[in-house]
A and B are shown apart, each in its own frame.
Chain A
Amino acid sequence: MEKLLELLEQDCNMPLSALAAAAGVSEEEARSAVKKYEDDRTILGYQAIVDWDRVRGENVTALIEVNVTPQSIDGFDRIAERIYQYDEVESMYLMSGSFDLTVIISGRTLREVARFVSERLSTIQGVTGTATHFILKKYKEKHLVFRPQDPEEREYIFV
């Protein structure tokens, strides 16, 4: 059933019949497996990947390196939760290396992002430092390239 997950990760819009055939299981098996994955949160959700630059004039994404003082009982998890509970936080990871957390946030304006860092993030107890990197251009996300399809103009040929 791992195949189902791979297929859904590629295209979660695939009709169930196509999904089942591609994974080599019956439609009923596919349906119940997907249900189970959704229930136990193996599948967290389904989202479209949007090129917002094509819609809005300005759209800002920032990657923030965060250093924190881990707490004795919960380690990083407690403080991480206090950060990721904010809706502005799009993704967040615990890192190895020279800083502790990567926080990715997106906002409509630079000011919005800056305010989140200075007013919300930096003031959380245990946060000892931040470094904010603004993303200048998105090239690729989740295997998808941010580029309109080249128009393909050619005659059909018989092969």
Chain B
Amino acid sequence: MNYDSILNEKIQNIRPSGIRKFFDILEEMTDAISLGIGEPDFVTPWHIRDAGIYSLERGHTKYTSNAGMLQLRREISAYLSRRFDLQYDYASQILVTVGGSEAIDLALRVLVNPGDEVIVPTPSFVCYGPLAEMAGGVPRYVELKAENQFRLTPEELSAAITDKTKVLVLPFPSNPTGGTMERKDLEAIAQVLKDTGIMVISDEIYAELTYGRRHVSLANLTDMYERTIVVNGFSKSHAMTGWRMGYVCAPEPIVAAMTKLHQFGIMSAPTTSQYAAVEAMRGGDGDIEHMREEYDRRRRYLVENLNRIGLQCFEPKGAFYVFPDIRSTGLTSEAFCERFLLEEKVAVIPGSAFGPGGEGFVRACYAASMRDIAEAVARMDNFLTNLRRKQGREG
């Protein structure tokens, strides 16, 4: 059977990520260190796991309401108000989803008409473009610049807007750069958006992981609230990636449309996970602080030491990634990562995997043990020294 004629053209045109081959190499290696996967290294705090287990013991194994358990939405509403000063009505403005990823997919699908343009700042997480395409949209990538700490500037945004622009994706704090947008940066973006009809999907999955300043959402700006869809979840803040718990908050008609799609495609988010999430909201603020403090230590160590061994690295203020500049090595980011993995058995991800603007950088995730991070730095030092020696001989 010729499946090429069966599969739809859009999905055929989406290329699989080139990162797979690194992971194939990595899986064969012993004593390799991976700073490749963007996932907390913590296990979900026990009281949260216990709440999930307890719900099973009590026999809570059925579907919940489509939008998610009422008590969970109440807790999310209280949490957003308490932590980020965001006000959303639990009954009509919050939808519990299967991870933040589902929320992004839903938001794009309820907004985009065929041919609509979706502005995606890059380097950024890889899902936005393909999901926009599957929704019938046309991704328009905006290359962020290292000299702006990978923030989206109003000039860059203005230059990308056309009369077909429907959506702006705002992925901050950023995977892979660790860049953040502060209030003044968002205000500048708001100035550009205010006279347009553009909707914003603000992916705030790393909102709890900022170092120094509290995260500000675009929805915190009064005149942006009505056009912002806030995507968040429990994966990064509460180390709950495998539970697949996310949520989305937006003006009521948007949430109603997303709920319609969600009820056909998903029915309801996993019930056990929802019970665990209720506990995370009620008693998890201390866990967040604890984990953030740990990440912060590792962040400071990694930034300081990468700079020390000669890899220029701007100070990331959010998420759990550093994004050092490897252009001084003369290698492409992919060649750099491949050689580093083969020679020193440490996995980091080439910046080119995160779209335009990522070339010349690599992403290292510091959600790993301090010992692994220290060892990775030592191996990086060794790698760079050998590389320079070889290049010196050749040159």
| Nearest residue, chain B, Cβ from A15 | B374
- A155 in contact (CB, < 8 A): yes
Asked whether B371 lies within 8 Å of A14 as measured between CB atoms, the reply is yes
Q: Which one of B23, B304, B370 lies within 8 Å of A156 (CB-CB)?
A: B23
Min CB distance B38 to A, Å, is 4
Min CB distance B158 to A, Å, is 31
Min CB distance A105 to B, Å, is 31
* Most chain B beta-carbon neighbours within 10 Å: one of A11, A13, A158: A158
- A94 in contact (CB, < 8 A): no
| Nearest residue, chain B, Cβ from A10 | B370
Asked whether A158 lies within 8 Å of B305 as measured between CB atoms, the reply is no
Asked whether A157 lies within 8 Å of B305 as measured between CB atoms, the reply is no
- A17 in contact (CB, < 8 A): yes
Query: In whole angstroms, how far apart are the Cα atoms of A159 and B19 in the complex?
Result: 10
Asked whether B17 lies within 8 Å of A22 as measured between CB atoms, the reply is no
Min CB distance A1 to B, Å, is 15
Asked whether A159 lies within 8 Å of B373 as measured between CB atoms, the reply is no
Contacts of A157 in B (CB 8 A): 23, 37
Query: In whole angstroms, how far apart are the Cα atoms of A23 and B294 in the complex?
Result: 10
Asked whether B371 lies within 8 Å of A156 as measured between CB atoms, the reply is no
- A21 in contact (CB, < 8 A): yes
Asked whether B20 lies within 8 Å of A158 as measured between CB atoms, the reply is yes
Min CB distance B360 to A, Å, is 20
Asked whether A18 lies within 8 Å of B26 as measured between CB atoms, the reply is no
Min CB distance A21 to B, Å, is 3
| Nearest residue, chain B, Cβ from A157 | B37
- B298 in contact (CB, < 8 A): yes
Asked whether B374 lies within 8 Å of A14 as measured between CB atoms, the reply is yes
Proximity string of chain A (2-20) to chain B, C-beta cutoff 8 Å, 1 when within and 0 when not? 0000000001011101100
Given the interface pairs A21-B304, A158-B17, the reply to whether A13 lies near B371 with Cβ below 8 Å is yes
Min CB distance A59 to B, Å, is 28
Asked whether A22 lies within 8 Å of B371 as measured between CB atoms, the reply is no
CB-based A-B contact count at 8 angstroms: 53
Query: In whole angstroms, how far apart are the Cα atoms of A69 and B77 in the complex?
Result: 61
Contacts of A24 in B (CB 8 A): 297, 300
Query: In whole angstroms, how far apart are the Cα atoms of A8 and B5 in the complex?
Result: 62
- B90 in contact (CB, < 8 A): no
Q: By DSSP majority rule, is chain B's interface helix, strand, loop, or mixed? A: helix
Give the number of chain A interface residues (Cβ < 8 Å): 15
B1-57 contacts to A, CB under 8 A, are: 17, 19-20, 23, 26-27, 34, 36-39
Asked whether A14 lies within 8 Å of B370 as measured between CB atoms, the reply is yes
- B301 in contact (CB, < 8 A): yes
* Most chain B beta-carbon neighbours within 10 Å: one of A13, A15, A22, A24: A22
Min CB distance A159 to B, Å, is 4
Asked whether B370 lies within 8 Å of A11 as measured between CB atoms, the reply is yes
Asked whether B370 lies within 8 Å of A22 as measured between CB atoms, the reply is yes
Query: In whole angstroms, how far apart are the Cα atoms of A13 and B375 in the complex?
Result: 13
Asked whether B304 lies within 8 Å of A159 as measured between CB atoms, the reply is no
Query: In whole angstroms, how far apart are the Cα atoms of A23 and B293 in the complex?
Result: 11
Min CB distance B253 to A, Å, is 31
Contacts of B305 in A (CB 8 A): 17, 21
Asked whether B27 lies within 8 Å of A156 as measured between CB atoms, the reply is yes
Min CB distance A37 to B, Å, is 19
| Nearest residue, chain A, Cβ from B298 | A22
Asked whether A22 lies within 8 Å of B301 as measured between CB atoms, the reply is yes
| Nearest residue, chain B, Cβ from A21 | B301
Min CB distance A117 to B, Å, is 37
Q: Which B residues fall within an 8 A CB radius of A?
A: 17, 19-20, 23, 26-27, 34, 36-39, 125-126, 175, 241, 297-298, 300-301, 304-305, 349, 353, 370-371, 373-374
8 nearest A-B residue pairs (beta carbon): A21-B301, A156-B23, A22-B297, A18-B374, A159-B38, A158-B19, A15-B374, A18-B370
